[in-house]
Amino acid sequence: MNIALLGYGKMGKTIEKIATERGHNIVLTVDKDDTEYDISVADIAIDFSIPSAAVDNITKCFAAGVPIVSGTTGWLDHYDEIISLCKEKNGGFIYASNYSLGVNLFFELNKKLAKMMHPVEGYNIHMEEIHHTQKLDAPSGTAITLAEGIIENSAKTNWQLDQGDDKTIPIVAKRIENVPGTHTVTYTSAVDDIEIKHTAHNRQGFALGAVIAAEWLVGKTGVYGMKDVLGI
C-alpha cells in the first residue's frame, strides 16, 4: 500500500516505522510548510496533523479520491460537514479519537459501566485525562468519546471542562511532560470509588491501530469507525 502521511510529527513518524515494518511504502509526507503536493500518488492518506489543518487535509483527499484515516483531534465542530462531503464525493473515511485496540476495548467497558451505574443512586461521576504539554486541544478527543459513551447510557446530557452537575460530566485535563495519554473515569460515593483507567505507555498502539485501519479502508468508500475495523 502506498501511504501519504499528512502530519509528520510524533505520530506521523511512529506510523512511518510501523507501516514500513508491515511492508507498506510512505510515498508522501506533508507538514505545515508543504502546500503544493499531489495526494493522488497515494492509495490512502493518514492524517495526524493539527486541529486547524484537519478539515482542509480531509477535503483534499476527498477531492482526489484518496481514502483517509483521520486521527487528528480537536476539529469535530466540522464533523457533520465532513461526513456530508464524504458522501457527496463518494469518499472513504474513518475518524477515531483513539486508534489503539486497548482504548477501543476501554470505550466498550466505559459504556457497559455507565449502563450498570445508571440506576444506582449515590455516585457522582468525573473524568480526567493527562497528556504531554505540546497537546493543542483540551479535553482530548478520547475523553470526548468516553463522555459521549456515558451520555448514551445515563442521565447525563453533556460534558464540560472542570465543572459538572446533575446533567454535566466534569472533565479535568492535565498537561504533564512526556505523558502519551491517560484517561480515567471515576464514580465516587460516600463509601467507595469505582474507577476505570487506560494508560498508554507509548504511541505505538495508536500508530498500529491507524495502520490497521488504513489496511482495512484502502479501496473502500463510505464512512466508518474503529468498531467496523476491529469488529467489536
Annotated binding site for (S)-2,3,4,5-tetrahydrodipicolinate: 132, 141-142
Residue closer to ligand LZUJQKHR (CB basis): 73 or 104: 73
- Nearest to 200, CA basis, from 147, 142, 160: 142
Count CB-CB contacts under 10 A for residue 27: 15
Residue closer to ligand NDP (CB basis): 125 or 208: 208
CB of 117 vs ligand NDP, minimal distance in Å = 26
* Residues 7-36, mask of contacts with ligand LZUJQKHR (x by CB under 6 A): ------------------------------
Which three cell numbers mark 143? Answer: 475523553
13 is a catalytic site residue: no
CB of 101 vs ligand NDP, minimal distance in Å = 11
The strand pair at 68-70 and 44-47 is best described as: parallel
Inter-axis angle of helices 79-89 and 51-64, nearest 10: 10
Which three cell numbers mark 77? Answer: 465542530
Residues that bind ligand NDP (CB under 6 A): 6-12, 30-32, 48-51, 53, 57, 71-74, 96-99, 134, 206
CB of 114 vs ligand NDP, minimal distance in Å = 22
Burial 104-131 (b: 16+ CB within 10 A, else e): bebbeebbebbeebeeeeeeebebbbbb
- Considering only residues 70, 110, 142, 154, which one is a binding residue for ligand LZUJQKHR as defined by CB under 6 A? 142
Q: State which H helix or E strand residue 134 sits in.
A: none
CB of 159 vs ligand LZUJQKHR, minimal distance in Å = 14
Annotated binding site for NADP(+): 32
Annotated binding site: 31-32, 71-73, 96-99, 132, 141-142
Is residue 110 within 8 A of residue 118, CB to CB? The reply is no
Residue 168 backbone dihedrals phi, psi, to 5 degrees: -115, 130
* Residues 108-137, mask of contacts with ligand LZUJQKHR (x by CB under 6 A): -----------------------x---x--
Residue closer to ligand LZUJQKHR (CB basis): 110 or 140: 140
State the catalytic residue, choosing from 131, 156, 183, 198: 131
Which residue do the cell numbers 479535553 mark? 139
Is residue 12 within 8 A of residue 47, CB to CB? The reply is no
Please state, in angstroms and rounded to a whole number, the distance separating the CA atoms of residues 13 and 59: 23
Which three cell numbers mark 101? Answer: 485496540
Residue closer to ligand LZUJQKHR (CB basis): 39 or 74: 74
118 is a catalytic site residue: no
Active-site residue set: 131, 135
